[in-house]
């Protein structure tokens, strides 16, 4: 008969790769996430509902430690209490609290302010995975040396991740100080502290997303249109609108107004957190009409194989790299192609081109006076961009485009 508890072994845990929960027994599970990371959870029922209590990542909590935590949680459940609420109460008390416990509680407290579920997951994942060595430390034991031990390896290989992690550690420690759980300066502070100990990010960045020269885009579009896949239509739509990949993959039919020739992206899906109107050119609208035949289930403009879910952004990248053999380029790079073309081949003002990319331009005062989004000027710009990328004549490729007088 199979064991009811202690089913997992160290070897089995190391070999576990299938996404989902792997039971150890007694409510303890090892969870393998989609990205391969592993964490511990304790499942229990409360008021007839299944509850999940996180016990930490595998990198910071061993099998034996997870079993001890689960055993303690089982005792709390047996006593008629909720172990999640009990832990929250302990975190809120003025007792000695670990960085990991406080960080978990903080994410729970501030998650209503996150733009989306992905943002919440990123916070939780980085603090559990990359800051694993800080988690068992008491809040007042987190020093500059400890923070540097976490950041330095990442700073050389994943600059953006390291920078965001530093900011999150700083916020956790600031919140702890505000609650009286630690004193002194914040060891994760950048200005006047870590900026003198770590190289500036701009010295480490590898550059912008690899972009195709704008002069090559028309020929690329010709080849792209020879392909019938949804990914090809999605990629062309991305190029024509100069939108970010995530904005396109998440596009829904409710955001499209074909009569007004507009695509309105809600604030929660925009990087700057502000709604963005995208004028749709004739070819962009033609693509919308083409994909309408796929509108059988769900509301996504470019549905994936499962219909109710959006097409993966990886599909566009795979199309370029594997099928079209453009291994050194990125989809995001077409935004740079568009910006270079607008700056070098047109007389449209810089502000119009930046607005087309949904970039924030100018200081707060300047933005306050410039309340509009230059929609009609951007419509002229995007129509000109379509004319350029769909041109097959060299004379058209080199033509200068000027906006209409206003």
- pLDDT per residue over 33-58, tens digit each? 887 888 899 999 998 899 999 888 78
Determine the pLDDT at residue 241. Answer: 96
Check for a shared fold between 94-207 and 214-397: no
Q: Which two tokens stand for residue 242?
A: 């100069």
Give the Cα separation of 73 and 42 in Å (integer).
8
Q: Which of 172, 201, 200, 165 has the alpha carbon at shortest distance from 186?
A: 172
Bridge partners (DSSP) listed for residue 148: none
Domain boundaries, the chain: 1-92, 94-207, 214-397
CB 20 within 8 A of CB 38: no
Give the Cα separation of 39 and 105 in Å (integer).
17
**Burial of 171 from C-beta contacts in 10 A (0-12 / 13-18 / 19+):** middle
Q: Which residues, in sequence order, are CB contacts of 185 under 8 Å at separation 6+?
A: 193
Determine the pLDDT at residue 401. Answer: 41
For the domain made up of 214-397, the CATH class stated in words is mainly alpha
Give the Cα separation of 236 and 218 in Å (integer).
11
For residue range 186-245, list pLDDT tens digits in order: 999 998 899 889 887 654 444 455 788 888 999 999 999 998 888 999 999 999 999 998
Give the Cα separation of 391 and 406 in Å (integer).
27
For the domain made up of 94-207, the CATH class stated in words is mainly alpha
Q: 3-state DSSP call for residue 333?
A: helix
Determine the pLDDT at residue 3. Answer: 45
Give the Cα separation of 307 and 270 in Å (integer).
23
CB 25 within 8 A of CB 3: yes
φ, ψ of residue 220 in degrees (nearest 5): -65, -40
Residue ranges of the chain with per-residue pLDDT less than 70 = 1-5, 88-96, 115-118, 201-209, 296-298, 307, 360-373, 392-406
Provide the edge-to-edge strand list for the sheet that holds 20-25: 20-25, 28-32, 38-46, 49-57
Question: Residues 71-77: contacts with CB within 8 Å, 24+ apart?
Answer: 71/26, 73/27, 73/42, 73/44, 74/26, 74/27, 74/42, 74/44, 77/44, 77/46
Give the Cα separation of 311 and 302 in Å (integer).
6
Determine the pLDDT at residue 298. Answer: 67
What is the value of pTM for the model shown? 0.51
The H or E element containing residue 2 is none
> CA 378 → CA 23, 235, 242, 299, 352, distances in Å?
56, 20, 11, 27, 6
CB 173 within 8 A of CB 187: yes
Give the Cα separation of 234 and 355 in Å (integer).
22
Q: Which residues, in sequence order, are CB contacts of 226 under 8 Å at separation 6+?
A: none
Query: Which string of b and e fits 284-322 if b means at least 16 CB within 10 Å?
Result: beebbeebeebeeebebbbbbeeeeebbebebbbebbbe
Determine the pLDDT at residue 117. Answer: 66
The answer as to CATH 3.30.465.10 being correct for domain 1-92 is no
Give the Cα separation of 150 and 129 in Å (integer).
10
């Amino acid at each position: 008969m199979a064991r009811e508890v202690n089913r997992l072994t160290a070897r089995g845990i190391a070999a576990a790769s299938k996404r989902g929960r792997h039971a150890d027994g007694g409510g303890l599970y090892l969870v393998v996430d989609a990205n391969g990371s592993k964490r511990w959870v304790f499942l229990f029922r409360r008021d007839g509902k299944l509850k999940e209590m996180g016990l930490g990542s595998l990198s910071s909590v061993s099998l034996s430690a997870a079993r001890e935590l689960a055993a303690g949680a089982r005792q709390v459940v047996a006593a008629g209490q909720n172990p999640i609420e009990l832990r929250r109460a302990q975190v809120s008390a003025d007792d000695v609290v670990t960085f990991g416990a406080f960080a978990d509680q903080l994410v729970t407290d501030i998650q209503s302010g996150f733009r989306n579920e992905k943002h919440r997951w990123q916070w939780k994942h980085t603090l559990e995975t990359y800051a694993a060595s800080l988690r068992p430390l008491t809040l007042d034991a987190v020093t500059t040396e400890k923070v540097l031990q976490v950041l330095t390896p990442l700073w050389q290989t994943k600059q953006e991740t390291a920078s965001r992690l530093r900011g999150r550690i700083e916020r956790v420690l600031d919140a702890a100080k505000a609650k009286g759980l630690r004193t002194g300066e914040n060891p994760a502070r950048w200005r006047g502290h870590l900026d003198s100990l770590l190289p500036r990010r701009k010295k480490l960045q590898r550059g912008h997303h690899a972009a195709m020269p704008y002069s090559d885009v028309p020929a690329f579009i010709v080849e792209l249109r020879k392909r019938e896949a949804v990914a090809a239509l999605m990629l062309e739509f991305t190029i024509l609108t100069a939108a970010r990949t995530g904005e396109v993959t998440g596009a829904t039919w409710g955001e499209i107004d074909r009569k007004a020739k507009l695509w309105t992206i809600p604030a929660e899906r925009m990087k700057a957190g502000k709604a963005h109107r995208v004028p749709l050119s004739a070819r962009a609208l033609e693509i919308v009409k083409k994909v309408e035949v796929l509108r059988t289930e769900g509301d996504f403009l470019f549905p994936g194989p499962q219909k109710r879910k959006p097409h993966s952004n990886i599909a566009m990248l795979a199309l370029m790299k594997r099928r079209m053999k453009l291994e050194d380029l990125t989809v995001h790079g077409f935004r740079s192609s568009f910006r270079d073309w607008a700056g070098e081949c047109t007389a449209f003002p810089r502000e119009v081109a930046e607005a087309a990319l949904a970039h924030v331009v100018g200081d707060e005062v300047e933005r306050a006076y410039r309340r509009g989004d230059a929609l009609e000027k951007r419509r002229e710009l995007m129509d000109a961009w379509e004319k350029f990328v769909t041109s097959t004549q060299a004379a058209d490729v080199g033509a200068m485009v000027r906006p209409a007088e206003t």
